[in-house]
Homo-oligomer: A and B are copies of this chain.
Amino acid sequence: MLNIASFLDIAAPYRAIFLDSYGVVKNYQGLIPGAPETIRLLREQGKIIRILTNDASRSPEQQASRFAEQGLPGILPAEIITSGMMAKLFLAQKVKSGRVAYLGTTAAASCILQAELPCVPVGSVDLENCADISAMVFLDDEGFDWNTDINKTVNLLNQNNIPVIVANGDKLYPVTQSDVSIATGGIAKLVESILNRKFIHFGKPDTQMFNYAFEDISREGNFMREEVLMVGDTLHTDILGGNKFGIATALVLSGNTHSKDAANWISSTGIIPDHICHSIVG
């Protein structure tokens, strides 16, 4: 039913390749075997590469180092675009004073929120003395006590009417072949549901990240959207966003979307990739 092709055949006509990270280049076990070879071949063919990731917990530099440690050297921080960078831009442009509260690790906060404003984990906020908290950021699902700090976030946001930013809208991430863990976006959704509010979400499928990446490669040459391929494992982020931005899309079956579910999910969501392949390897 699915028309499955080889990744290199699919990629051949495109001049720029946007790759999701988790589920495409790596997974819970490390790099997808053969991924470095594929990326080397793409580069040899003169293609421009960008990694577009909704992982807002680490900076591009940290993610590049991690790729190198895992056996994929040569990815430059400038080739990595994270949803955290979008959130950081928003804060720089729209939040000019006060303190920024966050849920996440201090490492995530230090790399994402290194704006001029002081940052404070929700756990350290004093609810009796928080009128100067001017924005709230959901950064990561780790680094705090879920029970105490999610409840505290609800009460903080009931008191302070401030912009709330979700730096990674993903609801889930895989931790083993079969198990998943609730991600930042899932926790944000709980708080949205409790408060009956919608927060400001960054990351795919929003076209903003695609636009940022497209502007970025346009500094290296003149590109048409038809010359760009987005490669991802998730229909409602990678494929929907790529489709909406007007570039070609390829679904890989090496991550969130399994072979057995792909036809069914495509049909039930109406999010239709231009191409399908097992993985970026073969």
Q: Which residues on A are within 8 Å of B, measured CB to CB?
A: 89-90, 93-94, 127, 141, 145-147, 150-151, 154-155, 157-159, 161-164, 171-172, 178-182, 186-187, 189-190, 193-194, 196-200, 206-208, 211, 225-226, 236, 240, 243-247, 264, 266-270, 272, 274
Contacts and interface: CB of A to CB of B under 8 A. Distances in A.
Indicate how many identical chains form the complex: 4
B268 A196 contact: yes
A194 B182 contact: yes
A175 to B, nearest CB: 8
12 contacts: A89-B246, A90-B243, A90-B244, A94-B246, A145-B147, A161-B267, A161-B270, A182-B194, A189-B190, A197-B268, A198-B270, A199-B270
Contacts of A240: 200
A89 B211 CA distance: 14
A147 B182 CA distance: 9
B161 A200 contact: no
B193 A171 contact: yes
Contacts of A194: 171-172, 182, 186
B189 A193 contact: yes
Contact of A182 (B164, B190, B211): B190
Given A94-B243, A194-B172, A178 B200 contact: no
A260 to B, nearest CB: 11
Nearest to A93: B246
A244 B95 CA distance: 12
A32 to B, nearest CB: 23
Given A172-B194, A182-B190, A193-B186, A200 B243 contact: yes
A158 B176 CA distance: 13
A146 B164 CA distance: 22
Given A89-B246, A264-B264, A180 B154 contact: yes
A226 B93 contact: yes
B193 A179 contact: no
Nearest to A210: B208
Given A89-B246, A90-B246, A180 B196 contact: no
A171 B226 CA distance: 32
A166 B211 CA distance: 20
A210 to B, nearest CB: 9
A266 to B, nearest CB: 7
A127 B179 contact: yes
B164 A270 contact: yes
Contact of A180 (B158, B181, B244, B274): B158
A211 B247 CA distance: 16
A202 to B, nearest CB: 8
A178 B155 contact: yes
